[in-house]
Amino acid sequence: MERIFADFHIHLGNTLSGNPVKISASKNLTLPNVLETSFHDKGIQMVGIIDCHVPEVIYELEQMMEKGELTEHREGGLIQENGCLILGSEIEIYDENCRGPIHVLVFLPYLRSMKHFSNWLVERMTNRNLSSQRFYGEAAELQKKTKELDGLFVIAHAFTPFKSLYGKGVEKSLVEVFQPEEIDAIELGLSCDTRMAGHVGELEGYPFLSNSDAHSLEKIGREYQSLEVKELSFREFSLALKGLEGRNITGNYGLHPQLGKYFRTCCAKCGTLITSGESITCPHCKKGRIVKGVSNRINELSDSDKRNSISTRPPYTHHVPLEFIPGIGPRMLNKLRERFGTDMEVIHFVSDENLLEVLPARLVDKIIDSRNGNLSLKEGGGGRYGKLD
């Protein structure tokens, strides 16, 4: 068995021909750039690219396979040197059973599976050339198709205020929308960790994923997990998700929830913290919209009689990505990568003595404090990230 790092929610901004895939994502998020940054700069060995249903992306993958730049593993997944690409698709559900758009992730083992899935979407999606488009059908239908193709079905960023299962304050239970036995994992999203999600009793039994939802190259690996697997493949990912045959998720790593953009209920315009009431418009600036924080929403969902224990789950480690640390800019990041290889090496393994060869003591202290969970934070909310004090 080996321990690897994995981030299963990474977007593509553009195809190589310049066509948009995820409109809100950076144009630098092309397929080659994502793989290069993930495998060589970040030290992430398994990545889920969740726009692989797009026909032009499928074509690019086929071209890379023909050139020998990617090889399909017999157990699923596309291999490039020391990394594995998991084929994924982010889809928006808004059927008669749910009262707000919900995003889900579908992961499939083989490129032929994804091509079949993409063709199946033609009659159920207005524009499959873009990411995160609405599925015109019921959630159960999408789940059934995923299982027919031996895929994995994941609830995306379950607690964020927008386009999520719990975030809008409407859905109270996943059984209102989904077939619970056909859900393979719950993605926590920013502003939430294992301890917080553990207050929602119906999530007991589902593994938790912590992924970046990267919309730019540097955000890859902002949140991630460690897996114990035998090799890099889709099957190993599936076994680790289910905790079978000795494979497991061994740890979740993410921003401290207070650093997330939606931890506290705030005004999206002026940033005023809202501590009470159910108003839609900010009582302070009279203009901004109130965005309910994840911490407040989880308090609403909390079931004190059925809180699931986090003691049997993998540890959740609060960490700070290197780019979040004041004083570590692009030039310093490059120096660290040239000296130590990858961000994962710097964040997890390099000794403070070796870090002092490259960084001033105050920045080394920040990295070590981050490892130990000793950083003081200013809470985020209303679409604004929290900050390190």
Q: Residue 5: which residues within 8 A CB-CB, separation 6 or more?
A: 43, 44, 45, 46, 221, 224, 225, 226, 227, 344
Helices and strands in the chain: count of H runs, count of E runs: 11, 17
Q: What's the mean pLDDT in 88-111? A: 92
Span 91-102, pLDDT tens digits:
999 988 887 799
For residue 278, the model assigns a pLDDT of: 62
Is-above-0.85 flag for pTM?
yes
Listed range (15-29, 248-262, 345-359) with the worst mean pLDDT: 248-262
Q: What's the mean pLDDT in 207-215? A: 97
Judge whether residue 218 has pLDDT over 60: yes
> 53 with 118: CB under 8 angstroms?
yes
Query: Which of the four pLDDT bands, split at 50, 70 and 90, describes residue 284?
Result: confident
Domains of the chain: 2-255 (3.20.20.140), 320-372 (no CATH)
Measured in degrees and rounded to the nearest 5, phi and psi for residue 161 equal -65, -25
For residue 169, the model assigns a pLDDT of: 59
Q: How far is the C-alpha of 285 from the C-alpha of 175, rounded, in Å?
A: 39
Judge whether residue 263 has pLDDT over 80: yes
pLDDT above 90 coverage of the chain, percent: 69
Q: What's the mean pLDDT in 46-74? A: 98
Residue (of 128, 93, 96) closest to 114 by Cα position: 128
Query: Which of the four pLDDT bands, split at 50, 70 and 90, describes residue 51?
Result: very high
> 84 with 73: CB under 8 angstroms?
yes
For residue 4, the model assigns a pLDDT of: 98
Mean pLDDT across the chain, nearest whole number?
A: 91
Measured in degrees and rounded to the nearest 5, phi and psi for residue 84 equal -130, 130
Query: Which of the four pLDDT bands, split at 50, 70 and 90, describes residue 384?
Result: confident
Judge whether residue 306 has pLDDT over 80: no
Query: Which of the four pLDDT bands, split at 50, 70 and 90, describes residue 309?
Result: low
For Cα atoms 29, 218, 358, give the angle at the middle one, nearest 5 degrees: 140
Query: Which of the four pLDDT bands, split at 50, 70 and 90, describes residue 213?
Result: very high
Query: Which of the four pLDDT bands, split at 50, 70 and 90, describes residue 378?
Result: confident
For residue 365, give both structure tokens. 């202290």
For 175-301, strand residue ranges (E) read 185-187, 208-209, 224-229, 248-254, 266-267, 290-291
Span 120-168, pLDDT tens digits:
999 999 999 999 999 999 999 999 999 999 999 999 999 988 899 998 6
For residue 324, the model assigns a pLDDT of: 83
For residue 389, the model assigns a pLDDT of: 66
Phi-psi region of 257 (alpha: psi -120 to 50; beta: other; left: phi over 0): alpha
Q: How far is the C-alpha of 18 from the C-alpha of 20, rounded, in Å?
A: 6
pLDDT above 70 coverage of the chain, percent: 95
